[in-house]
Amino acid sequence: KKTRVGLLFGGRSGEHEVSISSARAIARALDSAENREKYDLLPFYIGKDGVWRGEEIARQVLESGTPLQSESLDRQSLWKFPPEAAEIEVWFPILHGPNGEDGTVQGLLALMQVPCVGSGVLGSAAGMDKLIMKDLFAQAGLPQVKYASVARSRVCPKLCDDLEEMLGYPCFVKPANLGSSVGIAKARSRAELEAALSSAATYDSRIIVEAGVQAREVECAVLGNDDPKASTLGEITFESDFYDYETKYTEGLAQLLIPAPVPDSVRDRIQEIAVQAFQAINGAGLARVDFFYVESTGEILLNEINTLPGFTATSMYPRLWDASGVSFPELVDRLIQLALARLTR
């Protein structure tokens, strides 16, 4: 008997389009020769309005690869789930960013009493909130840049003085709960710091300010529950000032080098920290852990964790596992099995 997998994608976040691409790749993997006999795919699409759509519309969106033109928000519809949702035996949410990667959907699925791929409520929320995440990393003794927490209601000249003194320039200003570099700015002066803080404040009430490092950017994929494994590393190179939204999503602006050309000792240490970071936030299933590698000093700094990383055919996460000997279809199979194992433990 086949297992019915609910592939949940779209979502009310700035990464809606990326989610559609990720879902297309996963749907293809579920329909591959390896998985076809094992799983039945039922897609569910959350529109930009937050409303769930069942199989018919979800398949149309998967096929076309373009979002549904969002209808105006009707609060009643937010409480209606497509009836076929009741048949799902395991959920595969592939929602990036707020309202999907942050524990909200994981809580809803937990209430449905159906296992779900990836981290639960706590791991998802902790991984999404950069301040909580970094506090947990600090507790675990993991190396990272200096950072400060800023409540947007407290921004004033004195606070900017303190940030300047503590972190210096350049510094990075980020809304606490986002992804894809949305709302992130690099500040090189007081004027840029003030502008960056007001901009970040439009995305979140909580802001993180970090000391800027000049470093190579290396990523590691993690897979597993209680005994998670780290993948081969990947490096990202680009010409732009930092890995911003445009660089991430414009074809040809960033290059992925797999495996990352770093010394074996650096690789081993990054893999070790990646697993520790995963455990520090109570991760489950999957995560992509982002690092800074300061080549001149050999220093390794943990940047952040993403509990539902981009999962398109060309995304770092599945490519890192492919380079580690786990093909895309096998990866999807393993993630579903990890979700089922978590429930029956």
Question: Where on the chain is the footprint of Mg ion (CB under 5 A)?
Answer: 179, 290, 304, 306
The DSSP code sequence of 181-198 is TTT-EEE-SHHHHHHHHH
**Which of Mg ion, ligand ATP, none does residue 178 bind to, with CB < 5 to 8 Å depending on kind?**
ligand ATP
Subset of residues 226 to 285 that bind ligand ATP, contact rule: CB under 6 A: 242-243
- Name the CA dihedral angle for 321, 326, 332, 333, rounded to a multiple of 10 degrees: -150
DSSP state of 153: G
Q: Which of 140, 145, 148, 256 binds ligand ATP (CB under 6 A)?
A: 145
Using CB atoms, what's the residue nearest to Mg ion?
Answer: 179
**Which of Mg ion, ligand ATP, none does residue 242 bind to, with CB < 5 to 8 Å depending on kind?**
ligand ATP
**Which of Mg ion, ligand ATP, none does residue 319 bind to, with CB < 5 to 8 Å depending on kind?**
none
Part in contact with ligand ATP (CB under 6 A); list of ranges 43-51, 105-113, 179-187, 220-228: 179-187
Neighbouring residues of 46: CB distance < 8 A, sequence distance ≥ 6: 8, 9, 10, 11, 12, 52, 53, 95, 100
Mark residues 93-132: x for contact with ligand ATP by CB under 6 A, - for none. ----------------------------------------
Subset of residues 48 to 67 that bind ligand ATP, contact rule: CB under 6 A: none
Side-chain-side CA neighbours of residue 61 (13 Å): 31
Give 181 or 337: the residue with its C-beta nearer to ligand ATP: 181
SS3 203: coil
**Which of ligand ATP, Mg ion, none does residue 91 bind to, with CB < 5 to 8 Å depending on kind?**
none
User: CA 177, 178, 179, 183 torsion: positive or negative?
Assistant: negative
Give 30 or 171: the residue with its C-beta nearer to ligand ATP: 171
Distance of closest approach, residue 43 Cβ to ligand ATP, in angstroms = 24
DSSP state of 116: B
For the beta carbon of residue 221, count every other beta carbon within 10 angstroms. 30
The backbone region for 113, taken as left when phi is positive above 0, alpha when psi lies in -120 to 50, beta otherwise, is: left
Side-chain-side CA neighbours of residue 106 (13 Å): 27
Subset of residues 203 to 232 that bind ligand ATP, contact rule: CB under 6 A: 210, 212-213, 217
Placement of tokens 């937050």 in the chain: 50
Q: Is 179 in the site for ligand ATP (CB under 6 A)?
A: yes
Distance of closest approach, residue 16 Cβ to Mg ion, in angstroms = 13
Q: How far is CA 236 from CA 168, 171, 252, 280, 296, in A?
A: 26, 20, 12, 25, 18
Q: Which of 231, 306, 307, 312 binds ligand ATP (CB under 6 A)?
A: 306
Distance of closest approach, residue 161 Cβ to ligand ATP, in angstroms = 20
Give 17 or 194: the residue with its C-beta nearer to Mg ion: 17
Q: Which residues bind ligand ATP (CB under 6 A)?
A: 145, 172, 174, 178-181, 184, 210, 212-213, 217, 242-243, 290, 303-304, 306
